[in-house]
Structure 1
Amino acid sequence: MNLTTPPPVEELDPEYAETLRRNAVRGAYKAFRPRPNRRWLPFLAGVPVAAAICAIAIGLSGLGDQNRSEPLQPAARPTTVIQTPAKASKVEYVDLGPASEADRQAAARECLTHNGPHDGLSDWQKPEFANTSTVRSARWIKDPRVPGGRVLLQSFETPQAVVFVCSDTNVTWWGRAGDLDKMYEGETVVSGSSWGWGESTTPGIAVYASYDFRATAGVASVQFRIRGVDAVSSWYSVKVVDHVGYLAGTLPGSPKERPRAVLDVRAFDKSGKQIWSKTYDR
Structure 2
Amino acid sequence: MKMTTIGAASGAQKLNKGKTMIKIKHYKLLYLILSMTVIWTFVFNYLPMVGIIMSFQDFDIFKGITGSPFVGFKHYADIIQIPALRKSIANTLLYSSVKLFIGFPLTVIFALLLNELRSMAFKRVVQTISYLPHFLSWIAIVSLFYTFFELYGPFNNLRAMLFGADVERINILMMPEHFLELIFYSNVYKEIGWGTIIFLAAIAGIDPQLYEASMVDGCGRFRQIVHITLPGILPTIMIIFILSAGGVLNANFEQIIGFQNLYTQEHTEVINTIVYKYGLQQGNFSLATAFGLAQGIASFLIVYGVNKIAKKLSGIGVW
TM-score bucket (shorter structure): under 0.3
| Bigger Rg over Cα | 1
Give the TM-score normalised by structure 2: 0.18
Q: Which structure is higher in helix share? A: 2
Specify which structure has the bigger relative contact order, considering alpha-carbon pairs within 8 angstroms and separated by 6 or more residues: 2
Q: Which structure is higher in strand share? A: 1
